[in-house]
Structure 1
Amino acid sequence: MPQISEKIHELTVGQLSARSGAAVSALHFYESKGLISSRRTSGNQRRYSRDTLRRVAFIRAAQRVGIPLATIREALAELPEERTPTREDWARLSEAWRSELDERIKQLNRLRDHLTDCIGCGCLSLDTCVLSNPGDVFGERRAGSRLMVDKGRTSA
């Protein structure tokens, strides 16, 4: 990993990419979504404050555990402008995200446990599909694959 002198307070997008491990396109995307910010030089080049390294690390860690970017943006918006997330910030936010992650884990376990049931279903009879129709709640209103097509409609 390239070292950046302590004297350098701003990074080019290439330096930020090399140091953080995030692709330049990802950094541009993060910026377009308001997760990080840069200033522009007189030559219209992006310059990121050194603190952006920690913000990118925070974003990538949250993404790795499945937190949506919108949720990450909301979390970063709670921090004072340009302040980097601290260990305490991460502890507080990760605790808040724990129940959301627990629910996703339950859903993934249910998917894993019932995945082999799909071979018999073929999505032609939603009255028995444990993935698309858990608890057979749709089977009472209408059966068959039309339910998937009509899913957006409120009348049954």
Structure 2
Amino acid sequence: MRWLFRLIRNLLALVMIIILIVIVYKNVPAISELNPFDHSSDKNTESVAPQRANSTYTVEDNPLLQNVPLGQTKQAFKWISKSEFMDVSGLERMGYDDNYVAGQRGTEYILYKFGEPKMYVYQTEQDLLNDLQEMNSNIKLLPKTSY
């Protein structure tokens, strides 16, 4: 009878370890390349990168997205209020679609592709629009009152 209880206890411990490993693989961005459950990289391997951006900065520099795993930025953006997002990030105009968020802050234009570790900064709106057109995305920048 003791061997049956030990067997059940060991099986439960094994199941708990497997659940812990799955949770870690799904939620830790540092090992996202090793994640066997994430097939998002299989979908679009030939994406066009922005060519006209003058500079970039990493998502970790952004206080809104610093605690969000890269794979979850799209979901997090869907959940938050767009008007509050514009207030906190200082955007005067913003537009988005399923793959990108674009905005104007002062004289700079910012483009972010969901899931990437960096944002692209443009000096002119035309450069931003040209890159968006090359990436087959039609985003119109709208004022905060539209959200």
Larger radius of gyration, structure 1 or 2?
Answer: 1
The structure whose RCO (Cα within 8 Å, separation 6+) is larger is: 2
Is the TM-score greater than 0.5?
no
Looking at secondary structure, tell me which structure has more helix per residue.
1
Looking at secondary structure, tell me which structure has more strand per residue.
2
